[in-house]
Chain A
Amino acid sequence: MAKSKTIKVDYLARVEGEGALYIRYDDAGVHDVKLKIFEPPRFFEGFMRGRDFREAPDITARICGICPIAYQMSAVHAMEDALGLTLPPELHALRRLIYCGEWIESHTLHIYMLHAPDFLGYPGAVAMAKDHPQIVQDGLSIKKAGNAIVGLLGGREVHPINVRVGGFYRVPSAGELQPLREQLLHGRDMAMETVRWAVSLPFPKFERALSEQYEFVALSHSNEYPMNRGSIVSTRGLAIPVRDYDSHFREEHVEYSSALHSTLIERGAYFVGPMARYNLNYDRLSPMVRQVAGEMGFPPFCANPFHSIVVRSLEVLFAFDEAVRLIDEYRKPDVAYISAETHAGTGYGATEAPRGLLYHRYSIDDAGKITEAKIVAPTSQNQKTIEDDLRLMLPKFMHLPEKQLQAQCEQAIRNYDPCISCSTHFLKMNLQRVERTSS
């Protein structure tokens, strides 16, 4: 008879979507970790069959209210790949600008409203605002600047309407972008303060042993910090074009989760998101961001997932810097979009959603109807890594009182900014102490 304990969190708070956590452990170790996603399935890949390819950006945006741009970008890139469309650099630059807006609003939401309360011991940002009004107000103001970009280029913040296969429905004049510039310069200053503040937070010590080190996976591009394009690379030497994704990554359906688990074939769990991007692309951050990281003593490679809040703040700073640069260099494209004759084909698209690599694959027929759709969201790719983190972390924190231990587990999950409503993802968690005979 050994005493076995269970951590159950029925409904994980401050994540997007619905999910739960179940952990069974005793003094001998951790026996079971299940990150349960109980978000009801929404079947996007199923009902997109038969729909017109031009609808893909509008429909897939509805997978996620927090990162609709990411879905629109991966969808239009895949469709353009299927049709053999190549966009002029001016349209790419505008897409990068709107993506900067999404990184800013989504990361800032996570930093200030979802994750920071963990570090400072509050149930949420509203409660935190009572003691730290300026911090929360700053966060809201930075987020607003990101939303201003998405609102202007996309028409609205949630489910923007202006993104289409081949470009945009309407492109702004240089003059229309100018008022944004002031707001972004101010936002950039505040983002710098955010980095300073984030570095000063109290971080749980958690580094994996070398033998258990993460495999980080992100896009990489010869001269850009990755957002919209690039090849897929990893810290263990993976280097493939996006179209080879399916030969290297596999999805498994596990009973306790309505989200599919993604693994690297023959290697298993991997890690996508801001830390992966940062670790694989540090050299392509703007000099100003690298300088700020250096001044803060933050290293170019980061393997403690609790530090992800710092990496996110560095990416917010980068996104402001990049957005200002893109506005300064903006030249209105000659046409808002380019088009091509519709024909049958298969296309692949991967972009860097705030939470990490987002892969889309579509086949269309000669009439432009979608015959097959595959979408792999970042959170499903991180699920196994999150479970592994909890498995490895628990022995180090087992001495903590139960309530604190549960909070630690929830915080560890929030390191990944899981977006559970994406496609079919859902996560729920509750803590219960039970005694039972260990098996």
Chain B
Amino acid sequence: MVQPARTLDEPNDKARLAVWKFTSCDGCQLSLLDCEDELLQLADCMEIAYFMEASSNPSPGPYDLSLVEGSVTTADEVRRIREIRAQSRVLVTIGACATAGGIQALRNFADVDDFIAAVYAQPEYIDTLKTSTPISTHVAVDFELHGCPINKKQLLEVISAFLHRRPPQVPPHSVCIECKMRGNVCVWVAHGTPCMGPVTHAGCGAICPAYSRGCYGCYGPKENPNTASLSHWWQRELGAEKVVLIENLRNFNAAAPDFEAESRRQEGGDGQK
């Protein structure tokens, strides 16, 4: 899903940045405020024109770079993302919600009315779609940055690439590669711990194996993942229960096509959606 970034056609005085929130936990936009060493410098390079979590002075579009967090779960959000697209020269989605529907996409595998009834005493007050979908389902997206949450260094790389008019250097390989680069002992080989690393997109720095646990796939599928092989190995060689495998394919990136298809195949569905 990695696409080349579009860049500014001609130099501006200062590129205008907007940060948008859809259905989410706010964690990915918080990653920008967690850039403690770079935030003020960034504010020097760009005009932060719209960022409701950080400023009560939103300025109208158009915007040069829109960072979009969150998934689409209401009719109003469908309308709103189209408006934002129309006002944005470059639109980058950040995080598992925006790129793969987020944890709230678990509703896509069930009847959302059951969830509403489980949580709310007055279901008639609740206005929500039956699905949680990535931003790319609704509008064209110039670049997708994966992760639940995103890695703030990768976010700075994406912004920096935009400012320097080059494609972001965000490699599409698996967590396994990062694990080797970090010098981790393989938790799968050494301890027989089921790990999603072989099919999961790099970017986190392989922290779970570094903390003695298997990767649980929070960065979503890598480029061309062999999920069928992973399923085979988890169950046949590591003795993992099928339900555990499905839970790992179906958490924060449940609506990512590669994970969704494999989880449905394992469940005995058609596998091709």
Please say whether chains A and B are actual partners in one complex.
yes
Which A residues lie at the B interface, using CB under 8 A?
11, 13-18, 39-47, 49, 51-52, 55, 58-59, 62-66, 68, 105, 109, 113-114, 117, 123-127, 129, 133, 136-137, 140-141, 143-144, 147, 155-159, 161-162, 164, 168-170, 251-255, 258, 260, 336, 410, 421, 424
Q: Are B247 and A158 in contact (CB under 8 A)?
A: no
- Given B36, B40, B149, which contacts A144 in the complex, CB threshold below 8 Å? B36
Q: Are B34 and A147 in contact (CB under 8 A)?
A: yes
Confirm or deny: B118 has a beta carbon within 8 angstroms of a beta carbon on chain A.
yes
Nearest to B51 among chain A residues (CB) is: A124
Q: Are A161 and B207 in contact (CB under 8 A)?
A: yes
Confirm or deny: B21 has a beta carbon within 8 angstroms of a beta carbon on chain A.
yes
Q: Are B107 and A129 in contact (CB under 8 A)?
A: no
Known: A13-B58, A157-B34, A253-B122. A59 touches B27 (CB 8 A): no
CA distance A162 to B58 in the complex (A): 37
Measured between C-beta atoms, what is the minimum distance from A125 to chain B in Å?
7
- Given A13, A40, A124, which contacts B128 in the complex, CB threshold below 8 Å? A40
- Given A43, A55, A137, A252, which contacts B40 in the complex, CB threshold below 8 Å? A137
- Given B27, B55, B120, B125, which contacts A13 in the complex, CB threshold below 8 Å? B55
Which of A62, A140, A252 has the most chain B CB within a 10 Å cutoff? A62
Which B residues lie at the A interface, using CB under 8 A?
21-31, 33-34, 36-37, 39-40, 43, 48, 51-58, 73-74, 77, 102-104, 106-107, 110, 112, 114-116, 118-122, 125-126, 128, 148-149, 204, 207-208, 210-213, 216, 218, 243-244, 247, 251-252
CA distance A242 to B216 in the complex (A): 31
Pairs A–B under 8 Å by Cβ, sample size 25 = A14-B54, A18-B52, A42-B73, A52-B247, A58-B251, A66-B26, A114-B54, A124-B55, A126-B43, A126-B55, A137-B40, A140-B36, A140-B37, A140-B39, A143-B34, A155-B207, A156-B207, A157-B34, A158-B27, A158-B30, A168-B211, A252-B121, A255-B125, A258-B125, A260-B121
CA distance A221 to B78 in the complex (A): 48
Nearest to B115 among chain A residues (CB) is: A46
Measured between C-beta atoms, what is the minimum distance from A53 to chain B in Å?
12
Q: Are A65 and B33 in contact (CB under 8 A)?
A: no
- Given B21, B27, B126, B213, which contacts A159 in the complex, CB threshold below 8 Å? B27
Nearest to A172 among chain B residues (CB) is: B211
Q: Are B26 and A129 in contact (CB under 8 A)?
A: no
